[in-house]
């Protein structure tokens, strides 16, 4: 029910049918699995923030314009990943009432 997302570095939901079509027991298992995945997101963000900090240190000392541009692009991409991870972290799934 989850598919690893290379960009974000975590599995994401990959449902083959609508949520309501799953039995409650399956919904509960999916939610349990998601909570385990979701619990890893803050650590993933912390790791990415450390990478950004290192790249910013490199950028501070970099005099080559092309390399500076590349570092800025890498920092922007990592910041975008962090933003997407926070969005996934804030998703509040629930079991369908039947």
- 83: which 2 tokens? 């933003």
Going from N- to C-terminal start, the domains of the chain cover 2-89
Q: What is the mean pLDDT of residues 12-23?
A: 94
- Residue 87, CA distances (Å) to 24, 41, 47, 75, 78 in order: 25, 10, 17, 19, 14
- Residue 84, CA distances (Å) to 7, 13, 45, 73, 91 in order: 10, 14, 10, 17, 11
Provide the pLDDT confidence category of residue 92 given band limits of 50, 70 and 90: confident
pLDDT digits (tens, 9 = 90+) for 24-72: 999 999 999 999 999 999 999 999 999 999 999 999 999 999 999 999 9
pLDDT value for 94 = 81
pLDDT value for 98 = 57
Residues 6+ apart with CB under 8 A from 37: 2, 10, 11
């Amino acid at each position: 029910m989850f598919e690893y997302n290379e960009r974000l570095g975590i599995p994401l939901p990959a449902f083959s049918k609508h949520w309501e079509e799953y039995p409650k027991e399956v919904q509960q298992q999916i939610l349990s699995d998601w909570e385990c995945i979701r619990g890893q997101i803050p650590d993933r963000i912390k790791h990415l923030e450390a990478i950004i900090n290192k790249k910013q240190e490199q950028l501070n000392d970099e005099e080559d314009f092309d390399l500076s541009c590349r570092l800025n692009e890498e920092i922007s991409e990592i910041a975008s990943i962090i933003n997407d991870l926070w969005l996934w972290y804030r998703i509040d799934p629930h079991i369908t009432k039947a």
